[in-house]
Copies of this chain bind each other. A is one copy, B any other.
Amino acid sequence: MEKVKYATILSNMGACSDRFCAGGYSAPVSVEEMFERAASIKKLQGIELVTTWHITPGTKEKVKELLRQSNLSLVSIIPDHFGESKWGKGAFSAKDKGIRREAAELTKEFMDIAAYLGGDVVSLWPGQDGYDYYFTADYIKERTWFEEGVAECCAHRKDVKVAIEYKIKEPRVRSYPSTVASTLLMVKEIGAENCGVTIDYGHAAVAYENVAESVAILKKYGDKLFHMHMNDNYAYWDDDMIVGSVHTIPYIELLYWLKKTGYKGYISMDQYPYRENGRDAVEESIGWLDSMYTVLERIPEEEVAALYESGDSVAATRMIRKYLFNL
């Protein structure tokens, strides 16, 4: 098997809260402890950090040391544009000019810190960039602000990629970068070589995307897949469950297209283990991915090619069955 690089967002190692249980479903876990837990997962190679939660400008040296101790690479930094009340009405697309400025400055600062930590990706998750009610948002102006802000960050330094992670809703009821295509429109408008897209499996699935197709679309229109987040859900909401706990076949086709399109980045877990041991939940996701990669390796390329040529649905289903169950 081609070498797959697994990673996780650091918070997957800790406690989760929700709007009803704001105090958390389990006791808080320190950053150091989360690093230790991550380090104990055998196949894990990389870490993503959320600012405010895991890293601030003042702790970058300490984090560098924690990465070194854990023998983990810095995969990306996710600037906190969503977790403090000031971002509640948007970051890059906020109506408040000062907030928009702050969103860009924060991003640029952490592009530098990412580079300092040996990373080359900043993954933007604009969860608050959107709106909730009718007649409250100027859809054109606010998308334009978003694009201008991200463009400024991309221009800050070319050696760090800026990847926009889309999601159709939550926390805003409607988001601006909502689907793979909606986000690509922005990326094309921004027009920077280091501007691309992060796909989150669950976000895409909730938007009724077949994630394999989303990967293909990013390939077709500019080779813009910069990063991948993995998890699973029941198709209606971003449940952030263990990879493979609900869906099997769509994942196998997704892994196929990642390979076919030459994706070289990390396969990174982004879960919310509300009631689970987060470390074990990530380890289990890696177990599923490994098993699904094994199935993929059994499938001769010419069989897939023949199916894409014929479009024979019965034959496609039979092929998956054959290699999934190793018949």
Contact = CB atoms under 8 A, between A and B. Distances in A.
Contact of A133 (B22, B85, B213, B241): B241
B85 A23 contact: yes
Contacts of A168: 208
Contacts of A54: none
A235 B235 contact: yes
A253 B134 contact: yes
Interface in A279-311: 280-281, 284, 287-288, 291, 294-295, 304, 307-311
Nearest to A279: B314
Contacts of A257: 139
A18 B19 CA distance: 4
A245 B213 contact: no
A136 B19 contact: no
A140 interface: yes
Interface string A249-273: 1101100110000000000000010
Interface stretch (A63-71, A109-117, A177-185, A192-200): A177-185
Contact of A84 (B21, B127, B274, B307): B21
A275 B242 contact: no
A131 interface: yes
Nearest to A325: B291
B284 A144 contact: no
| Copies per complex of this chain | 4
A11 to B, nearest CB: 10
Given A143-B217, A208-B236, A287 B321 contact: yes
Given A181-B179, A311-B95, A170 B287 contact: no
Interface in A112-151: 127, 131-141, 143-144
B21 A18 contact: no
Nearest to A319: B135
A281 B315 CA distance: 9
Contact of A237 (B143, B170, B276, B320): B170
A284 B24 CA distance: 32
A30 interface: no
Given A88-B25, A317-B242, A82 B311 contact: no
Interface of A: 16-26, 82-85, 87-89, 95, 127, 131-141, 143-144, 168-171, 173-174, 178-182, 184-185, 188-189, 207-208, 210, 212-213, 216-217, 219-221, 234-237, 239, 241-242, 244-250, 252-253, 256-257, 272, 274-277, 280-281, 284, 287-288, 291, 294-295, 304, 307-314, 316-321, 324-327
Given A20-B83, A173-B237, A245-B317, 19 more contacts: A16-B19, A17-B19, A17-B22, A22-B24, A88-B275, A132-B241, A133-B317, A134-B316, A135-B320, A137-B308, A140-B220, A170-B237, A178-B208, A184-B185, A189-B221, A245-B320, A246-B250, A287-B318, A288-B317
20 contacts: A17-B22, A21-B88, A22-B83, A25-B88, A26-B85, A89-B275, A133-B241, A134-B246, A135-B316, A143-B217, A173-B234, A180-B182, A181-B181, A181-B184, A184-B185, A185-B221, A245-B317, A246-B250, A248-B248, A291-B325
